[in-house]
Structure formats: structure tokens, C-alpha cells
Amino acid sequence: MTQFLSYGPWALGNKALIAAVALFAAPVEAADVHILALGDSLTQGYGLIEQDGFVPQLRDWLSQRGHDVRVVNGGVSGDTTAGGLARVAWSLTPEIDAMIVALGGNDLLRGIAPETVRANLDGILQVAAAQDLQVLLIGMQAPGNYGAEYKSAFDAIYPDLASQYGALHLNSFFAGLTEIGTDPATLSAFMQPDGIHPNADGVEKIVGHIGPKVEELIARSQGQP
């Protein structure tokens, strides 16, 4: 079975850092809801032209359903949960109403201890809670080669923290693909040649599955039940 882990270069180069700073410094668009998508290369749109990436496709999906939403691309290729924790406070600029958190794949690739991953994600959710922001926490599952104990501890992180903080939870970023099936030959049509990152068609499937949860996030951010 194809393993959907992460994700691109480990380090953020100077040019990418300048681009990220420019992104957050850009003029704020008028919108009903502003959402920060905090993640790694899957969120950032690694290997794709801009309009084919996760954030632009999600924005278009929401717009087609009548939502006036600005989605800020807070994806950094190679980022870990520690990196997300280090930058979440300054990424949550005053106009942000809600946040999507999709981190942990690079922690898995590095074999980082589940308790460390849990502590980092807990810290991110603490920052969101302090600002009274609604969160969609997108989880993932460890592969079996780390051992049953590691897998059990890692897999429990996301549902546990979502329950603790009252956050929305989605089991996997790739759920929109895995619901098609697990046959590598079938899934390869939705993946880039590296077998790790989705292509434009794959992102479309992913967004189609995540989108309804983001609609729930929007409703919560607007005080709707």
C-alpha cells in the first residue's frame, strides 16, 4: 500500500522564507471569514502551480458553495509540529477567525517520539484557544514499521487532542484518496511522480473530502451550532 507521508525539502530556504513573510504582510482581503491553514508541503502545494495547490483549490471549492472566505497559506515544506509551534503565534494575525492544522508527517519520517509530537500539537492548540479560535485538526496514522506501541501512541494523538480542546477532527489529509481504494496503481493517477505528494487531480479529491469539515469550521467561527 502506498504510504502517504511527507513531504518535500527539509529546510526552508531564504527565498521561501522571504515569500512567506511577504504573504503574511500582504494586504488583507475583505472576506466574511479568514482561515489560516497551518501545515507542511501538502498545505503549501509542493510541486504544483499555484492555482492547483491545496489552499487555492479549497478556496475555490468554498467559493462555489457561496462562502466568502480567505484562506491563508501557512504551509511550509518540510515543517514538523515543532516548526508549526514555533511560528503559529505570529502566523495568527489579528484578522484570522479559525485555523486548519495539518502537521505531523515529517515528524513520522524522522521517527520523532509521539509524546513530543503530542506536546507540540498541544502547544499549537493552546495558542488557538487563548485567541478563542476554532480549529480543524487533521490527523494521520503511523505506518506499522515503527512498531505497534509507537503506532498506537501516535495514532491516538489527534483524536485525543481534538476531544480535549473541542476542535473539529478529520482522520487523515488523504481520506479523499483512500476512499477511492488502496490499490497503488489506482492511486498513482492522483499522485506526483514522487509517490508522496498529490497532483492537481489528487488535490481536488482531497479538497472534496476536507471541504465539508471546513464548512463546519466556518459555521463554528461565526457562532453557529
Cell of 142: 503511523
Write out the H or E segment, with its range, that includes residue 138: strand 134-138
The pTM for the full model equals: 0.85
pLDDT for res 7: 39
Residue 92 falls inside a structural domain: yes
Provide CB contacts within 8 A for 40, sequence distance 6+.
6, 7, 8, 75, 76, 77, 78, 79, 80, 102, 103, 105, 106
Could you tell me the pLDDT band of residue 2, with boundaries at 50, 70 and 90?
very low
H helical segments located in the chain: 14-25, 41-44, 54-64, 81-91, 105-110, 114-130, 148-155, 157-165, 175-178, 184-187, 200-221
pLDDT in tens, 169-210: 999 999 999 888 777 778 889 999 988 899 999 999 999 999
Annotated catalytic residue 41: yes
- Residue numbers of the domain that contains 110: 14-23+30-221
Residue 161 falls inside a structural domain: yes
Segment 161-172 shows an average pLDDT of: 97
Annotated catalytic residue 68: no
Residue 197 falls inside a structural domain: yes
Residue 8 predicted with pLDDT over 70:
no
Residue 9 falls inside a structural domain: no
pLDDT in tens, 22-50: 444 445 556 789 999 999 999 999 999 99
Could you tell me the pLDDT band of residue 15, with boundaries at 50, 70 and 90?
very low
Residue 8 falls inside a structural domain: no
CATH number of the domain encompassing residue 130: 3.40.50.1110
Domain count within the chain: 1
Could you tell me the pLDDT band of residue 168, with boundaries at 50, 70 and 90?
very high
Residue 3 falls inside a structural domain: no
Annotated catalytic residue 194: yes
Residue 169 falls inside a structural domain: yes
pLDDT for res 3: 41
Could you tell me the pLDDT band of residue 225, with boundaries at 50, 70 and 90?
low
pLDDT for res 180: 81
From the list 6, 41, 91, 172, the catalytic residue is: 41
Could you tell me the pLDDT band of residue 223, with boundaries at 50, 70 and 90?
confident
The answer to whether 201 and 188 have CB atoms below 8 angstroms apart is no
Cell of 35: 482561515
pLDDT for res 28: 52
Residue 5 falls inside a structural domain: no
